[in-house]
Amino acid sequence: MEQRLLDERRDLLASLLPIARALRKIEDAAAAGHGVSMWQYAALALVAKVPGLSQREAADRMDYSRNRIIADLDHLEKEGLLIRRPGSDRRANVLEATRRGVAVMQQVRAEIHRREDELLADLTPDDRRDFDRTVRLIGELVRR
- Any idea what the CATH number is for the domain that residue 31 is in? 1.10.10.10
Task: Establish if 1 belongs to a structural domain.
Answer: no
Beta carbons within 8 Å of 58's beta carbon, 6+ residues apart: 43, 46, 47, 69, 73, 95
Average pLDDT of the residues in 38-56 = 96
Task: Establish if 18 belongs to a structural domain.
Answer: yes
Looking at residue 42, what is its pLDDT?
A: 97
Task: Please state, as a whole number, how many other Cβ atoms lie within 10 Å of the Cβ of residue 31.
Answer: 23
Q: Cα separations (Å) of 113 from 27, 58, 119?
A: 9, 23, 10
Task: Establish if 51 belongs to a structural domain.
Answer: yes
Is the per-residue pLDDT at 47 higher than 70?
Answer: yes
Task: Establish if 105 belongs to a structural domain.
Answer: yes
Task: Establish if 2 belongs to a structural domain.
Answer: no
pLDDT in tens, 57-98: 999 999 999 999 999 999 999 999 999 998 887 778 899 999
Looking at residue 92, what is its pLDDT?
A: 82
Average pLDDT of the residues in 23-45 = 97
Could you give phi then psi for residue 82, rounded to 5 degrees?
-150, 150
Per the structure, how many domains does the chain have?
1
Q: Give the dihedral sign, CA 88/94/98/103.
A: negative
Beta carbons within 8 Å of 112's beta carbon, 6+ residues apart: 26, 27, 30
In whole angstroms, give the CA distance from residue 75 to residue 83. Answer: 11
Task: Please state, as a whole number, how many other Cβ atoms lie within 10 Å of the Cβ of residue 72.
Answer: 25
Residue range(s) defining the domain that contains residue 95: 11-117
Task: Establish if 84 belongs to a structural domain.
Answer: yes
Task: Establish if 30 belongs to a structural domain.
Answer: yes
In whole angstroms, give the CA distance from residue 52 to residue 121. Answer: 38
pTM value > 0.75: yes
Task: Establish if 5 belongs to a structural domain.
Answer: no
- How much of the chain, in percent, has pLDDT values that exceed 70? 95
In whole angstroms, give the CA distance from residue 61 to residue 93. Answer: 16
Q: Which residues of 37-55 are buried (b: 16+ CB within 10 A; e: fewer)?
A: bbbbbbbbbbbbeeeebbb
